[in-house]
Amino acid sequence: MSEQVKKFLYVNRKAPYGTIYAQESLEVVLIGAAFDQDVSMAFLDDGVFQLTKGQDTKGIGLKNFSATFRALGDYEVTKLYVEKESLDERGLTLDDLQNIEYEDEDDDYAEKPSIRLVSRAEMADVMAEQDVVLSF
Amino acid sequence: MKFGIVVSEGPYTHQASDSAYNFVKAALAKGHEVSRVFFYHDGVNVGTRLSIPPQDDRQIQEQWTALAKEHDLDLVICIAAAQRRGLLDQNEADRQGKDANNIAEGFRISGLGQLIEMGIQADRTITFGD
Amino acid sequence: MATLHTVNKSPFQNPTLISCLGHAKAGDAVLMIEDGVYGAMNGTALSDAMATLGGDVSLYVLGDDLAARGIDAARLADGVTSVDYDGFVDLAANHDRTQNWL
C-alpha cells in the first residue's frame, strides 16, 4: 500500500479491561498490518498484564480479546518486546504469559516465539530505533 | 516539518484536546504543516456538534472546526471508536439504521488506516492522551 | 537520533515520569506537560530521584501548564528549562521522534 517503510512501535503500558486502551491499541496494530511497515510492540509497566494466560471475562461481561494476540503472527506482527523488570516487579515470569508464535517463512515455516524478553536497557534501545512511536 | 497529531481523549474530561489544539496552533503559526489530526479512543467525542459547553469556557469542538476551516486541516475521527461511542455522520446513521447523526462540521469519519498513513507520511507524530 | 519524550502525569499520582526517565537515553529530552509539570518542582519527595534519573537528559517543562497551576518559576528544580508552546514545537521538530508517555 505504501512504498516507504517505517519502523512503528506500539507502546503498551496499561492493564487490560480496566480501560479500553489495550483492546483498542490492538485494533490499530491489526489494521496497521496491511501497510507493510516494520512493526514492533512493546509491553512494559502494567502493559505486561495484557499478555497473561487464562483470562476469563465471563463474570465481568467484557469481551475477552486475549486470543487476538495469538493471531498477530498471521498479520506478520512478530516482534512483541516484553520487559523483564516489569514482569519481575509484578511477580510474573514468561510462564505466566500466553504462548504467542509466528511461522517463519524464511525458515521452512518453523514456529517461533513472538515474545522477545528484553531488559529495561534493551527496551530503551528498541524505542530509540523507531521512526514512529504510538502510545495508548 | 509535517506534523501528524493524535488526540486520544475526549473534550473537557482530559486536557489532551486542549494541549493538542494549542500545539497545532503554534506549529501552524511557525509555518509548519499539520497533515492530519486523528481522533481515537474517547477523542472521537471532540467531534460532536451537540455539545453546549458553558459560555464562559472554551468551546472545544467549535475551536477545532474553526481552525480546520482556517487552515484546511484534515480532522479524522476513527470509525471503529466512533461506532462504539455513538459518534455518527449521516452516512453512518443511514448505514446502521440510526435515527440521528451528530458529527460536527469540519470532521470526517474514516478508518484506522488513516492513522497509519499519517504516521508514514508525517515527519513527526505526536499523541495527546491520558 | 534523539527522542523528545513527553509526560503528562503527576509523578506523585502515577509512576509514568519515573518509567519515562528509566527508558530515556542519554541526550534525549523530556518535556513535562499538563499535570506532569509537578515533576519539575524543587523541594519535593521526588527531587532527589529526579536529579539522579534525569542526569543525562535535558529536562523541560511547559511554562503555560505551570502558570495554570500557580507554580512560580522560582520553584523549578535546577536544570529544568521552561518552554512555551513555540518551544514545544521546536523541541518536536529538532528531535528525530516523539514518544508520548500517557
Give residue-wise pLDDT tens across range B49-76.
Answer: 999 999 999 999 999 999 999 999 999 9
Q: How far apart are CA B126 and CA C70, in angstroms?
A: 27
* B78 labelled catalytic: yes
Q: Report the pLDDT averaged over residues B100-108.
A: 98
Judging contacts by C-beta atoms under 8 Å, the chain B residues touching residue A27 are 80, 112
Structurally, chain A folds into a number of domains equal to 1
Could you tell me if residue A112 is inside a domain? yes
Could you tell me if residue A127 is inside a domain? yes
Catalytic residue among B78, B79, B81, B87: B78
CA dihedral B78, B82, B84, B90 (to 10 degrees): -130
CATH code assigned at A76: 3.40.1260.10
Question: What DSSP line would sit under A48-105, residue for residue?
Answer: GGGGBS----TTTT----THHHHHGGGGT---EEEEHHHHHHTT--GGGB---EEEEG
pLDDT confidence of residue A3:
72
- Of C92, C91, C95, C93, give the one whose Cα is nearest residue C81: C91
Q: How far apart are CA A51 and CA A97, in angstroms?
A: 5
DSSP structural state of residue C41: B
Residue of chain C nearest B2, judged by CA positions: C93
DSSP structural state of residue B112: T
Q: Report the pLDDT averaged over residues A22-43.
A: 96
The interface pTM score, or ipTM, of the predicted complex is 0.97
Domain range for A20 is 7-135
- Of B3, B61, B59, B46, give the one whose Cα is nearest residue B28: B3
By the CB < 8 Å criterion, does A41 face chain C? no
User: What are the residue ranges spanned by the domains of chain B?
Assistant: 2-128
By the CB < 8 Å criterion, does A89 face chain C? no
DSSP structural state of residue B57: S
Report the length, in residues, of chain B: 130
Residue A2 reports pLDDT greater than 80? no
Could you tell me if residue A2 is inside a domain? no
Give tens-digit pLDDT for B7-41.
999 999 999 999 999 999 999 999 999 999 999 99
Could you tell me if residue A97 is inside a domain? yes
Third-level CATH fold of C3-101 = Hypothetical Protein Ychn; Chain: A, (3.40.1260)
Could you tell me if residue A54 is inside a domain? yes
Sheet holding A7-12, edge to edge: A115-118, A80-83, A38-43, A7-12, A132-135
Could you tell me if residue A19 is inside a domain? yes
Q: Which CATH architecture has domain B2-128?
A: 3-Layer(aba) Sandwich (3.40)
φ and ψ of C88, to 5 deg? -60, -45
Our CA-based measurement puts residue A108 at a distance from the nearest CA of chain C, in whole angstroms, of: 36
